[in-house]
Amino acid sequence: MALLEVKNLSRNFAGVLAVDKVSFAVKEGETVSVIGPNGAGKTTLFNLLTGQDQPTEGEIVFEGQSLIGLPADQFASHGIARTFQHGRVFGNLSVLDNVLVGAHARRRAVQSRLPLGGLASELWAALFRPAATKAEEKALRQTAETIIARFGERLTPRLQQPAYSLSYANRRRVEIARALALQPRLLLLDEPTAGMNPTETAEMLAFIRLLKQQGLTILLIEHKLSLVMQLSNHVIVMDNGQKIAEGPPEVIRNDERVIEAYLGRKQRLDQPAANEAATVIV
Amino acid sequence: MPHFLRTFFDQTINGLVIGNIYALTAVGLALIFGVGNLINFAHGSVYMIGAYVGWVCVTQLHMPLVATFGVVAVICGLLGMGIERIGLRRLQNSARIAPLLATIGISFVLDQLVQIIFSPNPQSFPNPLPTTRLQIGGVSIGMTDLLIAAIGIGIGIILFLFLRYTKIGWALRATAQDRDAAQQMGVDVNRVNQAAFALAAILGGIAGMLIGLYFNTVYPTMSFQAGLKGFAANLLGGLGNIPGSIIGGLVLGLVESYGVALFGATYRNLFAFVILIAVLVIRPNGLFSRKRQAPPEPLTGTFIANNKPITLPVWGVIALAVIALLLPFFVGDPYFLQILTNAWLLGMVALSVTLVTGTAGQTSLGQAGFLAIGAYASALLTLRLHWPFELALLAAGLITAILGTLLVLPAFRLRAHYVAIATLGIGEIVNQVILNWNGLTNGVMGLTNLPPPTFLGVVAVLPHQIYWYSLILLLLGALFQWQLLRSPLGRTWRAIREDDIAAQAYGINLNRYKALAFAASAFIAGISGAFTGHMYTYINHETFTNTTSILVLTMVILGGMGNMLGAVVGAVALTVLPELFRGMADYRYLFYGLALIMMIRYRPQGLLGSI
């Protein structure tokens, strides 16, 4: 059974179909990439898959359960973590605290589904600091530090620095560390290498590959197609809100519709212009 | 004509006339919101100054009415340009709440200046128009009614022609639609803003003068209600929507007029605030907007600058607390102890504001509502149920926590500066309900003979006793808050403040944590309010007003948002400083307003830095 199943998902913004009847499935341990030109509906799709936006119609089934209608925080407690296209770190929180917020859904005081039960257990834990709470916080802190240490010297020396003081690339790293702190079942990465130089991109590629090797299921939006081709089990191509192609990277690379979507005209691969296009894509 | 029908027609005329005034005010606010994306809280002050300028011209200088309108327009127009200069231009790159707070500071300054020049007392404004009334089919219409209607319609037509057919009108509309694009096309956006502020101030000033004529009186405190009602009308029609604001003003005028006829005059101010909250919650873009939701922007609702806060080690805080506790042994002056007692009690309120506004990012301008709930809860428990003070004090805190959170609940779905306006409205509603719920609160008479604070049966009446009692309450409140902030709760609240969308994406249930923040905040504020009530021994619906809310927010900004020590330092500074300089006590709001403007402009992170 697929970990995530998306059926006929649509989002209509006052007459504009940002996502139009998209269906696909992601199996446990796979890395699936979503590509497509700007405005194709990739980020809207991510917003739907993480509860930030509600679909007009369609189904999102995660581990056999429908997630339609749940608020975004419930998506997180189901084990879906995401990063944001433009980076949304908590500027005035330290790197460590940013990552600890990622572990929020795992805290015991948060688990209570009763609204008042949750309030009461949060207050109790905060005011009286029972030993269990202290131990939990310590354990979370250790996990957070371990996750941060995976980025090596990039973040560890900056553990207590506020996130606003970090470089752009480091903020992206903090976002990924924050997502990992949730111990997600599914990780959604929205352009993780945007704004990174080639060295940093290569580093990120190696990092994501490592995550994949450890068995993490990843859904990736990325414009750097060499990265997509190296990481993905299969690739979904979107244009104008619709899924126009899906398949393994080597097939997608030569798909005419894909080339057309990117370049906006029909060209045969054996013609010079299209060859150039193919180079751009690959 | 049957009696009820005549009353109905009379109330309709009344409502339309007052509605015309609201519409004039609302259109100004809509113009300013349109081009500057700013809710101008100084607009009510301009309205009040318009009324005073009119009063000076007519009663002191004996000028004809037409010339008076000219003078009002010129002076208020210049004033509007000044407000744009101070309140908006320098703050365009700050947090969205910054210019809003700056205009609150400006309104403090303007209101206090008028009080200093003309005294706080109402001035009689005899109407120079003939007193004949037209009788049309049994409905009587006065000359002032006609004048207001004519000016309202006239200004509407002029404004329409101005916006549609003049170059600056085009520039104005272009800026309102897309500021950056307009600037790219060579529109001088600063000049457009200035023009919008001038125009808005002219309309506001004329509205104020007309209301002075209509009610034959002008007084400095007319500004706040006028500003809020204009805002409610504006919101009803859609924030930047000019025709919508006109209709919103007329609707509000009619609702008030019929409402007063049905329920009584003390209800007059309730309607505007109920409309304000209802529109914010149900249709934040106004009645005439097709968009259902407020635009989803990445906003910080509060005022946090990136900075390194000044932190004091724990022993430093303890040392300060010990010094404060020992102070009565060295300073015997009861007056000084009383001032510090006020500082401690306001310090508690500042702690409570810094919790919701600084730490959790939900700007509260309605904290006075919590103080009032706490004060009335404790007063009623001791007076009617004869509970001992200590128990009533604690219960007041808990009641305020529950009731306060439930009251703010509808505003949880709002973001950024809408939260500030909603809480301001909720604070006002609390006082209006206290005024009108005679059976429980004794209405306008208030509650008297509250028993003095006691501690384990010992009555605290001497200044140093009250001093210690309030200081210990402050320290306990601070300890409570500190426990919360250093737990994972503190981290969660700050995450919501920094970016609520990202926070929610990581599993944070926003409503739960906003509720916790408001409950903890209301608990502390409620206890402070309850103690203050018993200290005064008398409370009524005007003991804790929105002025208190704004003053406390100023303290918090002064000390540094989210900074607990900063909140107390801010409270002490703003309570003690006006007393230190002899004679300054009369000008205290001038001082508060200037402090607010200066901090926002030059040190937004506050004295000790935001955390």
What is residue A241's three-state secondary structure? coil
Residue B54 lies in a domain: yes
What is the rounded distance in angstroms from the CA atom of residue B277 to the CA atom of residue B329? 49
Query: B306 to chain A: which residues are within 8 Å by CB?
Result: 91-92, 162, 164-165
- Smallest Cα distance from B398 to chain A, Å: 14
- On whether both B233 and B106 belong to a single domain, the answer is yes
Q: Does A2 contact chain B (CB < 8 Å)?
A: no
Residue B377 lies in a domain: yes
pTM of the model: 0.91
The pLDDT of residue B457 is above 70: yes
Residue A5 — very low, low, confident or very high, per pLDDT cuts 50/70/90? very high
Average pLDDT rounded to a whole number, residues B420-428: 91
Residue pLDDT, tens place only, A41-63 = 999 999 999 999 999 999 999 99
- On whether both B241 and B367 belong to a single domain, the answer is no
- On whether both B276 and B345 belong to a single domain, the answer is no
Query: At which of B489, B512, B544 does a domain end?
Result: B544
- Smallest Cα distance from A111 to chain B, Å: 10
- φ, ψ (nearest 5 deg) of residue A60: -125, 115
CB within 8 Å of chain A, chain B residues 5-34:
none
Contact B125, B217 (CB under 8 A): yes
Q: What is the pLDDT of residue B61?
A: 92
- On whether both B112 and B244 belong to a single domain, the answer is yes
- φ, ψ (nearest 5 deg) of residue A209: -60, -40
Beta bridge partners of residue A60, listed in sequence order = A6
Give the CATH number, domain containing residue B264.
Answer: 1.10.3470
Q: Which residue has the higher pLDDT, A153 or A22?
A: A22
In this structure, the dihedral spanned by the alpha carbons of residues A210, A214, A217 and A218, taken in order and rounded to 10 degrees, is: -10
Residue pLDDT, tens place only, B122-174 = 999 988 887 778 887 777 788 888 899 999 999 999 999 998 999 888 898 88
- On whether both B376 and B256 belong to a single domain, the answer is no
Q: What one-character-per-residue DSSP string does B387-436 give? A: --HHHHHHHHHHHHHHHHHHHHGGGGG--THHHHHHHHHHHHHHHHHHHH
Using left for φ > 0, alpha for ψ between -120 and 50, and beta otherwise, residue B114 falls in alpha
- On whether both B124 and B190 belong to a single domain, the answer is yes
Tally A–B CB contacts below 8 A: 110
Residue B426 lies in a domain: yes
Who's near A115: CB < 8 A, 6+ residues apart? B511, B512
Tokens of A181: 């702190």
Q: Does B491 contact chain A (CB < 8 Å)?
A: yes
The pLDDT of residue A270 is above 80: no
Q: Which residue has the higher pLDDT, B243 or A274?
A: B243
- On whether both B221 and B145 belong to a single domain, the answer is yes
Query: At which of B248, B282, B316 does a domain end?
Result: B282
Contact A67, A75 (CB under 8 A): yes
Residue B564 — very low, low, confident or very high, per pLDDT cuts 50/70/90? very high
The pLDDT of residue B295 is above 60: no
Of the segments B275-284, B477-486, B601-610, which one has the largest average pLDDT value? Answer: B477-486
What is the rounded distance in angstroms from the CA atom of residue B452 to the CA atom of residue B587? 31
- Smallest Cα distance from B81 to chain A, Å: 35
Residue B290 — very low, low, confident or very high, per pLDDT cuts 50/70/90? low
Query: At which of B515, B544, B573 does a domain end?
Result: B544
In this structure, the dihedral spanned by the alpha carbons of residues B44, B268, B271 and B55, taken in order and rounded to 10 degrees, is: -20
Residue B201 lies in a domain: yes
CB within 8 Å of chain A, chain B residues 283-312:
298, 304, 306
Who's near B203: CB < 8 A, 6+ residues apart? B24, B25, B27, B28, B31, B155
- Tally the domains of chain B: 2
Q: What is the pLDDT of residue A257?
A: 81
Query: A164 to chain B: which residues are within 8 Å by CB?
Result: 306
Residue B305 — very low, low, confident or very high, per pLDDT cuts 50/70/90? low
Q: Does B507 contact chain A (CB < 8 Å)?
A: yes
Query: A119 to chain B: which residues are within 8 Å by CB?
Result: 512, 515-516, 519
- Using alpha carbons, select from B261, B28, B51 the residue that is nearest to residue B156: B28
Which chain B residue lies closest to A122 (C-alpha atoms)?
Answer: B489
- On whether both B192 and B261 belong to a single domain, the answer is yes
Which chain A residue lies closest to B309 (C-alpha atoms)?
Answer: A92
Residue B7 — very low, low, confident or very high, per pLDDT cuts 50/70/90? confident
Residue B149 domain boundaries: 3-282
- B506 and A104 within 8 Å at the Cβ level: the answer is yes
Q: What is the pLDDT of residue B293?
A: 43
Average pLDDT rounded to a whole number, residues B532-557: 94
Q: Is the dihedral of CA B282, B284, B286, B289 positive or negative?
A: negative
Q: Does A81 contact chain B (CB < 8 Å)?
A: yes
Quote the radius of gyration of chain B (alpha carbons, Å). 25
Q: What is the pLDDT of residue B301?
A: 47
- Smallest Cα distance from A201 to chain B, Å: 24
- B488 and A100 within 8 Å at the Cβ level: the answer is yes
Average pLDDT rounded to a whole number, residues A242-267: 80
- Given A73, A84, A137, which is nearest B488 (Cβ)? A137
- On whether both B146 and B248 belong to a single domain, the answer is yes
Q: What one-character-per-residue DSSP string does B190-255 give? A: HHHHHHHHHHHHHHHHHHHHHHHHHHTEE-TTHHHHHHHHHHHHHHHH-TT-HHHHHHHHHHHHHH
Q: Does A18 contact chain B (CB < 8 Å)?
A: no
- φ, ψ (nearest 5 deg) of residue A160: -100, 5
- On whether both B276 and B390 belong to a single domain, the answer is no
Query: A101 to chain B: which residues are within 8 Å by CB?
Result: 491-492, 495, 503, 506, 508
The single residue listed with the structure tokens 């212009």 is: A273
Tokens of A88: 């949304």
What is the rounded distance in angstroms from the CA atom of residue A74 to the CA atom of residue A71? 6
Chain-wide mean pLDDT for chain A?
A: 88
- φ, ψ (nearest 5 deg) of residue A77: -70, -15
What is the rounded distance in angstroms from the CA atom of residue A10 to the CA atom of residue B326? 68
> How far apart, in Å, are the Cα atoms of B187 and each of A32, B28, B200, B352, B578?
48, 21, 20, 44, 45
- Smallest Cα distance from A276 to chain B, Å: 36
Kindly tell me the burial class for residue A214, based on how many C-beta atoms sit within 10 Å of its own C-beta (0-12, 13-18, 19 or more).
exposed
Average pLDDT rounded to a whole number, residues B8-25: 91
Residue B557 lies in a domain: no
Q: Length of chain B, please?
A: 611
- Given A82, A91, A127, which is nearest B505 (Cβ)? A82
The pLDDT of residue B369 is above 80: yes
- B488 and A89 within 8 Å at the Cβ level: the answer is no
- A110 and B505 within 8 Å at the Cβ level: the answer is no
Q: What is the pLDDT of residue A264?
A: 63
What is the rounded distance in angstroms from the CA atom of residue A192 to the CA atom of residue A222? 7
The single residue listed with the structure tokens 């019929």 is: B258
- B306 and A91 within 8 Å at the Cβ level: the answer is yes
Residue B310 lies in a domain: no
Residue B398 lies in a domain: yes
- Given B298, B306, B480, which is nearest A164 (Cβ)? B306
* Three-class HEC string of B41-59: CCHHHHHHHHHHHHHHHHH
Residue A280 — very low, low, confident or very high, per pLDDT cuts 50/70/90? very low
Q: Does B610 contact chain A (CB < 8 Å)?
A: yes
Tokens of B367: 């904290």
- Smallest Cα distance from B512 to chain A, Å: 7
Chain-wide mean pLDDT for chain B?
A: 90
Most A CBs within 10 A among B304, B506, B523, B611, hence the mutation to make, goes to B506
Residue B455 lies in a domain: yes
- On whether both B77 and B217 belong to a single domain, the answer is yes
Q: What is the pLDDT of residue A70?
A: 93
Q: What is the pLDDT of residue B211?
A: 92
Residue pLDDT, tens place only, A207-245 = 999 999 999 999 999 988 889 999 999 999 999 999 999
What is the rounded distance in angstroms from the CA atom of residue B14 to the CA atom of residue B258? 9
Q: What is the pLDDT of residue B582?
A: 63
Neighbours of B278 (CB within 10 A): 15
- Given B306, B483, B507, which is nearest A77 (Cβ)? B507
Beta bridge partners of residue A35, listed in sequence order = A237
Residue pLDDT, tens place only, B78-95 = 999 999 988 888 887 777
Q: Is the dihedral of CA A170, A171, A176, A179 positive or negative?
A: positive
